[in-house]
């Protein structure tokens, strides 16, 4: 049962099979090129695509649009203090804005930055400062079939191996991403958060948390980490941040808004520098590129994210989709993460070689079969990275119903049943930056 009902609806329509066939061909077999109105169920991302509450909409009306010193900023600062425990906050237009502001202050050319796994914008902003991002994912993350609870953890041994290699002086910052989006949305345990903080302290580095999905992570700790069964999600959420010096946050995830983000920190000097950088790239530091109403909605959303039963229902719904798929023998990454289910396209299309993009074949097949849009996170998105060919189905928050989930599962089952009929794809047009090709490249079925 859900603890909310719909107050506003948006019509969606499943185009006919012929229309879907034509649309995907027209889009060059790349679902980023589809018109959203041609998509029936949109699982491209959970970022900024969710449904706001009546309280958030009401807060938008109260938005204070003052250029400087707005009441809405004070409400956000209060929410960040109460929910996350940080004294200083710099609003930004979204998560990558916060990365630009904070890493521009903290990093220098030649630095090396370990993270359990960098999200692509985090990686790009670290590289943009002339520093080198290094992933230190838990070895457990490599097995998609084990049911371990905290596969998103930071590998502390890998962190120390990096220190041996480059020296502690090269590592001014250690980052931890909760949950770990690049590793199938897997959570990080409180024990690992503490251990990563100790590692950072030991090498005299700052400890930064990428907090996008902090409430989902807190939920997993409550469910699976001994000693937290009776602790509230709100208390766990705050404890996660106790040892962190700063955070970057995309409000489009666990602040339950369609746009917005912020950086928050404890150190006043870092705050002062971050404000100057925010003026340069985002806007005056009490609006950060957002309208007052966006900031109000984010302040309310942050509090809602840790108020029961929101996040329990949210993560359970993602798990429910994972179960529906597993029951139909669709291979999924286990256990199901916090915001998405990841399908193993390499296994479904074992007859299609990696260079012909089995993940992208699955993305197109899900669209053709049921108007479902997911995203490829394998050879097409990460050329030559030697990653499994996964397809991510990310659920927008508070948006789809069980019937929609059933449609997704039935669509994937139908694709599985006719998997042998699918051929691979080849790229016929791609942008100059290969790393960004999955957003705009065009493909065609491989010719014999």
Ligand X SMILES: Cc1ncc(COP(=O)(O)O)c(C=O)c1O
Q: Considering beta carbons, is residue 119 or 154 the nearer one to ligand X?
A: 119
Q: How far apart are CA 448 and CA 17, in angstroms?
A: 25
Q: Considering beta carbons, is residue 123 or 222 the nearer one to ligand X?
A: 123
Q: For ligand X, what does the binding mask look like between residues 404 and 433, x meaning CB under 6 A?
A: ------------------------------
In the list 28, 133, 187, 261, the residue contacting ligand X (rule: CB under 6 A) is 261
> Considering the rule CB under 6 A, would residue 95 count as an interface residue with ligand X?
yes
Using the 8-state DSSP alphabet, how is residue 359 labeled? Answer: H
Min separation Cβ 123 and ligand X, Å: 10
User: Which residue lies nearest ligand X, judged by its C-beta?
Assistant: 95
Min separation Cβ 95 and ligand X, Å: 2
Min separation Cβ 440 and ligand X, Å: 17
Residues 6+ apart with CB under 8 A from 257: 48, 52, 56, 251, 294, 297, 298, 301
For residue 264, give both structure tokens: 């928050």
- Interface stretch with ligand X, choices 76-84, 91-99, 271-279, 295-303 (CB under 6 A): 91-99
Min separation Cβ 448 and ligand X, Å: 39
The burial of 67, by beta-carbon neighbours within 10 Å (0-12 exposed, 13-18 middle, 19 or more buried), is given as exposed
DSSP symbols for 43-111: -S-SSS-S---HHHHHHHHH----SSS-HHHHHHHHHHHHHH--SEEEEESSHHHHHHHHHHHH--TT-
Q: Considering beta carbons, is residue 46 or 155 the nearer one to ligand X?
A: 46
Measured CA distances, 393 to 8, 43, 318, 367 (Å): 24, 5, 9, 12
DSSP symbols for 269-336: HHHHHHHHHHHHHT-STTTTTS-HHHHHHHHHHHHHHTSTTHHHHHHHHHHHHHHHHHHTT--B-SS-
Residue 137 has phi, psi (to 5 degrees) of -75, 155
In the list 80, 126, 212, 443, the residue contacting ligand X (rule: CB under 6 A) is 212
Three-class SS state of 131: coil
> Considering the rule CB under 6 A, would residue 222 count as an interface residue with ligand X?
no
Q: How far apart are CA 212 and CA 122, in angstroms?
A: 12
- Cβ pair 371, 39 in contact under 8 A: yes
Q: Considering beta carbons, is residue 212 or 264 the nearer one to ligand X?
A: 212
Half-sphere exposure of residue 229, counting CA atoms within 13 Å on the CB side? Answer: 2
> Considering the rule CB under 6 A, would residue 360 count as an interface residue with ligand X?
no
Count of residues near ligand X by CB under 6 A: 14
Min separation Cβ 3 and ligand X, Å: 26
Q: Considering beta carbons, is residue 44 or 325 the nearer one to ligand X?
A: 44
Q: Considering beta carbons, is residue 121 or 286 the nearer one to ligand X?
A: 121
- Interface stretch with ligand X, choices 50-58, 90-98, 296-304, 384-392 (CB under 6 A): 90-98
Q: For ligand X, what does the binding mask look like between residues 179 and 208, x meaning CB under 6 A?
A: --x---------------------------
Residues 6+ apart with CB under 8 A from 438: 30, 32, 360, 375, 376, 380, 381
Three-class SS state of 176: strand
Q: Considering beta carbons, is residue 340 or 427 the nearer one to ligand X?
A: 340
In the list 64, 135, 210, 369, the residue contacting ligand X (rule: CB under 6 A) is 210
Q: For ligand X, what does the binding mask look like between residues 100 and 129, x meaning CB under 6 A?
A: -------------------x-xx-------
Min separation Cβ 332 and ligand X, Å: 19
> Considering the rule CB under 6 A, would residue 50 count as an interface residue with ligand X?
no
Helix (H) or strand (E) holding 132: strand 132-135
Q: Considering beta carbons, is residue 47 or 53 the nearer one to ligand X?
A: 47
- Interface stretch with ligand X, choices 74-82, 88-96, 342-350, 394-402 (CB under 6 A): 88-96
Contacts with ligand X, residue ranges (CB under 6 A): 47, 94-96, 119, 121-122, 177, 181, 210, 212, 250, 252, 261
């Amino acid at each position: 049962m859900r603890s909310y009902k719909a107050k506003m609806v948006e019509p969606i329509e499943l185009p006919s099979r012929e229309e879907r066939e034509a649309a995907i061909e027209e889009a060059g077999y790349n679902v980023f090129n589809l018109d959203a109105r041609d998509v029936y169920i949109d699982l491209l991302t959970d970022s900024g695509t969710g449904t706001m509450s009546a309280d958030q909409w009401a807060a938008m009306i109260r938005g204070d649009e003052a250029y400087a010193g707005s009441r809405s900023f004070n409400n956000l600062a209060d929410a960040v203090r109460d929910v996350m425990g940080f004294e200083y906050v710099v609003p930004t237009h979204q998560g990558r804005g916060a990365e630009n502001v904070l890493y521009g202050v903290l990093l220098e050319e030649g630095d090396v930055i370990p993270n359990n796994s960098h999200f692509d914008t985090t990686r790009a902003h670290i590289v943009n400062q002339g520093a080198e991002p290094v992933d230190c994912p838990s070895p457990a993350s490599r097995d998609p079939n084990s049911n371990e609870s905290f596969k998103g953890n930071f590998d502390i041994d890998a962190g120390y191996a990096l220190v041996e290699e480059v020296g502690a002086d090269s590592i001014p910052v250690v980052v931890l991403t909760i949950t770990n989006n690049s590793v199938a949305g897997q959570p990080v345990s409180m024990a690992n958060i503490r251990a990563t903080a100790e590692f950072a302290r030991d090498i005299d580095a700052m400890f930064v948390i990428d907090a996008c999905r902090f409430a989902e992570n807190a939920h997993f700790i409550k469910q699976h980490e001994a000693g937290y069964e009776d602790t509230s999600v709100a208390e766990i959420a705050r404890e996660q941040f106790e040892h962190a010096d700063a955070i970057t946050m995309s409000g489009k995830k666990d602040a339950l808004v369609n746009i917005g983000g912020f950086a928050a920190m404890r150190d006043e000097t870092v705050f002062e520098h971050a404000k100057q950088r925010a003026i340069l790239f985002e806007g005056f530091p009490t609006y950060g590129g957002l309208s007052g109403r966006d900031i109000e909605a984010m302040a309310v959303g942050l509090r809602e994210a840790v108020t029961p039963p929101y996040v329990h229902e949210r993560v359970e719904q993602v798990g429910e989709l994972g179960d529906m798929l597993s029951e139909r023998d669709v291979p999924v990454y286990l256990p199901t993460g916090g915001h998405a289910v990841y399908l193993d396209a390499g296994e479904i299309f074992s007859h299609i070689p990696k260079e012909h993009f089995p993940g992208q074949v699955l993305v197109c097949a899900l669209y053709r079969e049921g108007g479902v849009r997911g995203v490829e996170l394998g050879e097409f998105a990460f050329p030559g990275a030697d990653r499994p060919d996964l397809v991510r189905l990310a659920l927008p928050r508070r948006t789809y119903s069980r019937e929609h989930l059933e449609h997704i599962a039935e669509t994937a089952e139908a694709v599985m049943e006719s998997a042998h009929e699918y051929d691979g794809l080849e790229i016929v047009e791609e942008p100059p930056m290969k790393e960004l090709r999955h957003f705009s490249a065009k493909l065609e079925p491989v010719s014999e």
